[in-house]
Structure 1
């Protein structure tokens, strides 16, 4: 199989524990693009929190894209514009926040490239540290944000988040999809949004089949993405769920796991 696209989750996949891209990974991804293979970043992160990595990998020069908010937005790097947005509407936003308040879970969402949140959690600053975006604490998230939002996130105790995730079983009502990206993050998105759904839909515009894609991931929000592509790769640090659906398990995100797969399946095929 001649692969035409590489899709990468960011946190704990593309990025190390120090929030950096390994030199070997960067070298392999740049080489793949020089060989004509598209590289796409697909993350639960907000768009602004993906830009640094996207620019390091020169996605703008190679006419590529980033899929942010778990698929709620697709951003064209070359033309610096959004090509698709699929958001949680304001009514659903209010219902999710009410649910999180009832569960005594910190709630956060996004507006004007900032992260707004209400409540407290031992993990409350993680999203800001990961994305580099300013976090703004508010006493009433619904007064601060009164528009549709790309996603809503609950941040809480790992056991509590796990129980809620199991209880919701992927759904919050009829219009909202729920999943975890980290053990302490419970994410709510439009039901038409997931990395796998958006990727499959978007590829129709790029003349690329899902079978021609290699995708890398580590967390439960990567599950349908790894299932839909030709070669789904779980990082060595991935959850058991992700390892069970992957075609291959590589080294973890602090090692040369991504380099190893790209070198074998793409670079060596062009020699």
Structure 2
């Protein structure tokens, strides 16, 4: 029996412009009414996920920034993680020769050192909440402790940069595509799947009591955690191979596992 439903946000529960399909909204709310716990798992910040919780009007556990933070529906922070050395400062400078643009995240803020037209275009397209921090690069590791670094750009440039970082800092960071033109770099061993396991321990649940849905590479770790894994039909082939079921919407997934 499913006791917890976990959903990704972008391109899964969220459509474009951070909107939720009315059918999906109704299906999620019905789970809460039937005492099935709910969790959002996203690369987004916790405060954005809090907004979703208030919009839906149901309690939600939140795994934010790809697993760097875990907050319960009761607003208790069970876990937080950040980079432990100056790797982010070095990473940001190594990105200069590439046609990519970096955004640095802490718990409830995403920072850039300055605004440019290119960055404004990314912010608008991705509907990001971003603060300008003029002294960001000098404050890294002093007053700013990053939990995630997101680089946006052409896929070939992101992949080349990823290879460089893996060679320069072996074992010090994990990376994966979180959107079509976005690669996230995380502290080692931080993922949606690992943090979801922390939530399961907290709730005293087993993996087969959880259903998950997602669409991106950063969802793979949680999709592999349970036999009740659903992947959006719009996902890439690599992600489609991981899911047990392929669906067109969150409500389709909910209908499937509640009708068993």
Q: Which category describes the TM-score, using the shorter chain as reference length?
A: 0.7 to 0.9
Asked if 1:156 is matched to 2:148, the reply is no
* Preserved CA contact (<8 Å) 2:99 2:157: no
Question: Equivalent residue of 2:86, what SS?
Answer: helix
Question: Structure 1 regions of 5+ residues with no counterpart?
Answer: 252-256
Following superposition, the deviation at residue 199 of structure 1 comes to 0.9
- How many angstroms does 1:205 deviate by? 1.4
Report the Cα distance in structure 2 between the residues aligned to 1:149 and 1:211, rounded to whole angstroms. 33
Q: 1:76 aligns with which of 69, 72, 81?
A: 72
Query: Is the contact between residue 88 and residue 150 of structure 1 (CA under 8 Å) also seen in structure 2?
Result: yes
Deviation at residue 144 of structure 1 after TM alignment: 4.6
Corresponding pairs, count:
257
Aligned partners of 2:247, 2:169: CA distance in 1, in Å? 33
TM-score normalised by the chain length of structure 2: 0.87
- Structure 1 CA distance, aligned partners of 2:138 and 2:85? 11
Could you tell me whether the CA contact under 8 Å between 1:108 and 1:116 is conserved in 2? Answer: yes
Q: 1:106 to 1:234 in 2, by over 3 A?
A: same
CA contact (8 A) 1:196 1:228 kept: yes
After the TM superposition, which of the residue ranges 93-102 and 207-216 deviates more from structure 2?
A: 93-102
Does the CA-based 8 Å contact 2:213-2:230 persist in structure 1? yes
C-alpha RMSD of matched pairs (Å): 2.6
Q: Which runs of 5+ in 2 are unaligned?
A: none
Which residue number corresponds to residue 63 of structure 2? 67
Matched, 1:31 2:26: no
Normalising by structure 1, what TM-score?
Answer: 0.84
In the TM superposition, residue 110 of structure 1 has moved relative to its aligned partner by 2.6
Shift in Å at residue 67 of structure 1? 0.4
Note if contact 2:99-2:154 (Cα within 8 Å) is conserved in structure 1. Answer: no
CA distance in 2, matches of 1:209, 1:137: 42
Q: In the alignment, which residue of structure 1 is the partner of 2:52? A: 53
Q: Residue 17 and residue 205 in structure 1: after superposition, are their counterparts in 2 closer, same or farther (change >3 A)?
A: same
Q: Is the CA contact 1:86–1:192 (under 8 Å) kept in the aligned structure 2?
A: no
Task: Name the SS for the 1:10 alignment partner.
Answer: coil
Which secondary structure state, in structure 1, belongs to the residue aligned with residue 19 of structure 2?
coil
- Check whether the contact 2:83–2:146 (CA below 8 A) recurs between aligned residues: yes
Q: Which runs of structure 2 are paired with 1:189-204 in the superposition (5 Å)?
A: 189-204=186-201
